[in-house]
Amino acid sequence: MNNKINTKENLIETAAKLFETKGYYATGLNEILAESGAPKGSLYYHFPKGKEQLALAAIYSEGEKIKSKVLVSLQNIENPVEAIVSIIEIIATAIDSDQKTKDMTISLIALETYLTSDVLRNACLEIYTSLENIYAEKLIKSGIDKDNAYKLGCVISEMIEGGITYSLVKKNGNPLRLIAEQIPRLLTI
């Protein structure tokens, strides 16, 4: 049983890594199998509906990692402005280091599949909405009224996602740092 779980998790991790670096459409099932070392039968055992089902599992897996990182960062710093700026700086530094977004965003698969797969688009939307809500809850705890907190949570999440894309294109974290500089102005607490 444990081996089956490890094989399934290995397939999900491998698919997530390949979707992040190569994209959903440029990644084939044979490549996922070769990279993971899993037998072909195990892929269809765990994901009988194929690539889209595997991508769905990868989105949720990556989404949980992203949410976990954000939650830990927000819990470690009481001041919401400092906490959000810290999260942005962590992402900017990671992009400076290796221009990879491992466990930071699901934007590539979201951008690639939003017109062709409602299943994957909705999963991405669910992750994005969860992140918005995490930011909003932090703001509510600091005294911002609920309605404004949820609007600001949405704006913060959107700024970070856009900043990640722009930083990757520029091959440095400076666009994210510019966003971080604006957070105190946005969140006058």
Q: What is the distance between the alpha carbons of residues 9 and 184, in angstroms, rounded to a whole number?
A: 40
Q: Give the start-to-end residue ranges of the domains of the chain.
A: 56-186
Query: What does the pLDDT look like over 11-67, one tens digit per residue?
Result: 999 999 999 888 999 999 999 999 999 998 999 999 999 999 999 999 999 999 999
Mean pLDDT of the 146-167 span: 95
Q: What is the pTM of this model?
A: 0.89
Query: What does the pLDDT look like over 75-86, one tens digit per residue?
Result: 999 999 999 999
Query: What does the pLDDT look like over 84-133, one tens digit per residue?
Result: 999 999 999 999 987 666 667 888 889 999 999 999 999 999 999 999 99
Query: What are the residues whose beta carbons fall under 8 Å from the beta carbon of 115, sequence distance 6 or more?
Result: none
* CA dihedral sign, ordered 19, 25, 29, 35: negative
Helices (H), 47-173: 51-76, 80-98, 107-113, 118-141, 146-170
1 has pLDDT over 60: no
8 A C-beta contact, residue 73 and residue 127: no
5 has pLDDT over 70: no
8 A C-beta contact, residue 110 and residue 124: yes
The CATH T-level fold of domain 56-186 is Tetracycline Repressor; domain 2 (1.10.357)
